[in-house]
Amino acid sequence: MLDNIADLLLAVGLLHEVFEFPTGFALRHMVPGTAIGVLVGDLLFFWMALRVARRTGRNNLTAMPLGLDTPSTFGMVFFVLGPSFLFAQKELGLAPLEAARYTWHIGICAIFISGVFKLACSFGSNWVRRLLPRAGLLGSLAAIALVLISFLPLLEICQMPIVGLTALAVILTTLVARVRLPLRIPGALGALLVAGAIYYLMRATGTLAQAAELPFDPRQALLPYEWLEVFQFDWLRRLPDSLNYLPIVIPFALATVVGGIDCTESAAAAGDEFDTRQVIGVEALATIVAGLCGGVIQTTPYIGHPAYKAMGGRAAYTLATALFVGGAGLLGYFGFLYWLIPKAAVFPILVFIGLEITAQSFHATPTRHYPAVALACVPALAALALLYTDNLLGDPALFAAGIGLERLKPELREQILITRVLANGFIVTSLIWASALAALIDRRLLRAAAFFLVAAGLSAFGVMHSPLAGGQLFLPWQLDAVDLRYPLRLTIGYVLVALLLAAWGTWQNLVEKQLPDLEEPKS
């Protein structure tokens, strides 16, 4: 429950702080549908657990956990919702509220497409897993977790270090070192109570360094009804615009499918057998329902079923989460949670999630593929650098002074353009690069060549390495020579690498046929 609340806090807070998105609009339009996705998904998992328990005659079965996908929260905020809000204001000339509505519609389309994609994957979920190596799938997830999920909340923590570091220490001690708190208080709740008490004590004594003004009255979020506009289906008009964000949206959706498969296997290892297709189907249905109700963050099964089982969780904890989070969105008391809970006290949970996802990515990957997982993080570093570069160059003060990208030194301007090309579509880039390196490590050069050939095709249309702001897709003949040069060079480079590896792999196969005793790679 706290993780879901933290994700909602994160989405609303980052949209306002980074992109100046209207908080009231987010609370009354975006949060209800997003919470409905959690409500529906956890209710279905609760019902699934009861059905399996009844069929097997077991009374200690633990339900699958479901909630908002943390990597997708960052991805949607920084690479879909934020850029579309800026685009609507700068390029379309819309006022902030109209730009917010445009952004909301883009988010609805993206989440709906994610749900449909995941529903299709549920029928062939095991095939997807066989097609792509775990180093590629988990490597791209680790890139987001380590570079974005763990880093960005640390900025908020360090702005209020007395509160934030205390919460982080409790989180790491209880959830990583597994040292129990007195009275068996859960680590996340203990961190919130201890750090929250320090926060309000500092406010009461006037020693708090800064207390940001709340950008809205929490009472205005009660009983929201504006989200019902979604059933007018005006958002369908933005479907063509939302296709530009598919290179961001689809990899996140694919990652949750693979994560759902892994979570099902993890539950089976703990003694609770669930049907994989049903688990992925519930995840997909919850995401579709969230989109149809105006949600902008997808849902996913959570890693950690064995830990919930060890703590005594059965089926009711998913029911409680469903009702609390669903009520927060539909009744609007999430606005008071947003006002009451200091972010520095709850964001350490996200740091832990980032570390846990990264650790799990390495743990679930063969040791020989560790370099591939590490390589997947490099494009994410470019995305992080581009985030701050774009924020700096888009600052109104610089605009007022007539300072833009064109005023920079040619060498610096070139470096920023290269960073943008590497950062745009970074999730797909991480996936392809890590998958190709994993194939090379396994001496499957022809397979690696196929990955690089796919990279060439994706680069030619901007799925990877788009030179355009926001990572928009393009047709090659639509770009001028300046914008086309980097995608063209990268496309040619990928093709040449593919040809080289194909020739090399063919030669290798001929040699190995002649030398059958050639040493095999070690596991």
User: Is residue 203 in a domain?
Assistant: no
**Same domain flag for 407 and 504:** yes
238-281 pLDDT per residue, tens: 999 998 888 888 888 887 887 788 788 778 877 888 988 899 99
Whether 515 has a pLDDT exceeding 70, the answer reads no
**Same domain flag for 341 and 406:** no
174-202 mean pLDDT:
91
Domain count, the chain: 2
> Contact, 376 vs 431, CB < 8 A?
yes
**Same domain flag for 61 and 120:** yes
Whether 396 has a pLDDT exceeding 70, the answer reads no
Residue with the larger pLDDT of the pair 394 and 520: 394
Average pLDDT, the chain: 87
> Contact, 44 vs 286, CB < 8 A?
yes
Boundary residue ending a domain (310, 345, 380): 345
**Same domain flag for 301 and 450:** no
Question: What is the chain's Cα-based Rg?
Answer: 24
> Contact, 377 vs 176, CB < 8 A?
no
Global pTM reads 0.80
Print the domain residue range for 413: 368-509
Whether 298 has a pLDDT exceeding 60, the answer reads yes
Q: Which residues of 472-483 are buried (b: 16+ CB within 10 A; e: fewer)?
A: bbbeeeebeeeb
Question: Which residues are registered as beta bridge partners of 66?
Answer: 301
User: Is residue 254 in a domain?
Assistant: yes
Residue ranges of alpha helices (H) inside 305-364 are 305-310, 316-331, 334-340, 343-346, 348-363
Distances (CA, A) of 5 to 435, 443, 453, 471, 496: 34, 45, 42, 30, 48
Placement of tokens 């996705």 in the chain: 37
> Which of these, 342, 12, 351, lies nearest to 160 by C-alpha position?
342
**Same domain flag for 319 and 375:** no
Please, which pLDDT band fits residue 80 given cuts at 50, 70 and 90? Answer: very high
User: Cα separation of 104 and 235, whole Å?
Assistant: 8
> Which of these, 68, 112, 113, 104, lies nearest to 292 by C-alpha position?
112
User: Cα separation of 206 and 200, whole Å?
Assistant: 10
301-358 pLDDT per residue, tens: 987 677 678 767 899 999 999 999 999 999 999 989 988 888 889 889 888 888 887 8
Please, which pLDDT band fits residue 426 given cuts at 50, 70 and 90? Answer: confident
Paired tokens of 294: 């105006």
User: Is residue 152 in a domain?
Assistant: no
> Which of these, 343, 303, 428, 309, lies nearest to 63 by C-alpha position?
309
pLDDT for the residue 17 = 86
**Same domain flag for 336 and 373:** no
pLDDT for the residue 93 = 93
User: Is residue 363 in a domain?
Assistant: no
**Same domain flag for 405 and 278:** no
User: Is residue 225 in a domain?
Assistant: yes
Pairing of β 66-68 and β 299-301: antiparallel
User: Is residue 354 in a domain?
Assistant: no
Three-class DSSP category at 68: strand
487-506 pLDDT per residue, tens: 899 999 999 999 999 999 99
Three-class DSSP category at 365: coil
Phi, psi of 66 (to 5 degrees): -140, 145
> For residue 183, what is the DSSP state?
G
User: Cα separation of 41 and 299, whole Å?
Assistant: 8
**Same domain flag for 377 and 237:** no
User: Cα separation of 171 and 190, whole Å?
Assistant: 8
**Same domain flag for 29 and 133:** yes
**Same domain flag for 392 and 331:** no
Paired tokens of 72: 């997708």
**Same domain flag for 222 and 341:** yes
Phi, psi of 487 (to 5 degrees): -60, -40
In this structure, the number of other CB atoms found within 10 A of the CB of residue 336 comes to 14
Paired tokens of 406: 């064109």
**Same domain flag for 319 and 372:** no
User: Is residue 331 in a domain?
Assistant: yes
Whether 478 has a pLDDT exceeding 90, the answer reads no
49-78 mean pLDDT:
89
User: Is residue 186 in a domain?
Assistant: no
Boundary residue ending a domain (345, 360, 388): 345
Contacts of 152 (CB under 8 A, 6+ apart): 14, 74
Whether 211 has a pLDDT exceeding 80, the answer reads no
